[in-house]
Each structure stands twice: as structure tokens, then as C-alpha cells.
């Protein structure tokens, strides 16, 4: 069982809808991540939060809006998505990285998003 929980597991939405993806971890990690993954491809980093502050935005379109309400929760707010945004959205968490060493990221099972 994954220690990173994502909801919902599946989401179908129209291009004009607003929805949110949720992620929760209770491992005491202070870094959390959003990734987008297409079928049989590696995950692509979207956002990184470190100590609840956004530290990396990989030039993600503004129709994706992340939020980190506290150290255990990470949200991804979706609005006016395009069909090409259909993918598996993965959340991950880890200890905060530092130059001398990095603890591995632990992934949730993702939300399968389909845009009609």
C-alpha cells in the first residue's frame, strides 16, 4: 500500500470544468511534487513544494494551479484544460533535498484524468 494517497483515482471532466486533485502524505516529508505521466513514458515534473512554499514550476500552463495548504496536503486545481492534458497525474513526497544527499521520492498511485 502506498503511503501517498491521491484522490480521486479517476476523473473525467469537460474543458470548461473546474476540478481539483488531492494528495496526502503522513510520512513527515516536507517536499511534495506533482508530475504528469503519459502512457509508457516517464513522469514529467510539474511543481515542487518545499516547506509548503512553491520552489519549482516547470513552466506549467496557468490552467494548472498548485496549492500546499499544510505539510501533509497538496492540491492541484484544474481549470479550462485541453484534451492533451489527459494523463496520469502523480503526487510524490520526500525529505527536503539538499546538496549533500537526497532521500528518494515516494509516489502515490495517481489520478487518471480524461478531458472531453
Partner 1 sequence: GQQLNQSPQSMFIQEGEDVSMNCTSSSIFNTWLWYKQEPGEGPVLLIALYKAGELTSNGRLTAQFGITRKDSFLNISASIPSDVGIYFCAGTISNAGGTSYGKLTFGQGTILTVHP
Alpha-carbon span 56 to 104, nearest angstrom: 17
Query: Which one of 13-21, 68-76, 77-85, 93-101 is the stretch in contact with partner 1 (CB under 8 A)?
Result: 93-101
Q: Are 71 and 46 a contacting pair, CB within 8 Å?
A: no
Cα dihedral 38/39/43/44 (nearest 10): -20
> Phi and psi of 63, rounded to 5°?
-70, -10
Q: Rounded to the nearest whole angstrom, what is the least distance from the CB of residue 45 to partner 1 in the complex?
A: 6
Binding mask 31-70 for partner 1 (x = CB under 8 A): x--------xxxx-x--x-x----xx--------------
71 lines the binding site for partner 1 (CB under 8 A): no
Alpha-carbon span 61 to 97, nearest angstrom: 25
Binding residues for partner 1 (CB under 8 A): 2, 4, 6, 31, 40-43, 45, 48, 50, 55-56, 90, 92, 94, 96-99, 101-110, 112
Amino acid at each position: 500500500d502506498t503511503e501517498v494517497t491521491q484522490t480521486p483515482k479517476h476523473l473525467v471532466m469537460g474543458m470548461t470544468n473546474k476540478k481539483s486533485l488531492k494528495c496526502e502524505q503522513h510520512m513527515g516529508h516536507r517536499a511534495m511534487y506533482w508530475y504528469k505521466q503519459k502512457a509508457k513514458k516517464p513522469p514529467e515534473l510539474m511543481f515542487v513544494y518545499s516547506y509548503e512554499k512553491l520552489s519549482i514550476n516547470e513552466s506549467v500552463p496557468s490552467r494548472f494551479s498548485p496549492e500546499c495548504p499544510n505539510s501533509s496536503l497538496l492540491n492541484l486545481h484544474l481549470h479550462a484544460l485541453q484534451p492533451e492534458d489527459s494523463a496520469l497525474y502523480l503526487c510524490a513526497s520526500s525529505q527536503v533535498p539538499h546538496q549533500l544527499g537526497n532521500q528518494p521520492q515516494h509516489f502515490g498511485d495517481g489520478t487518471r484524468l480524461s478531458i472531453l
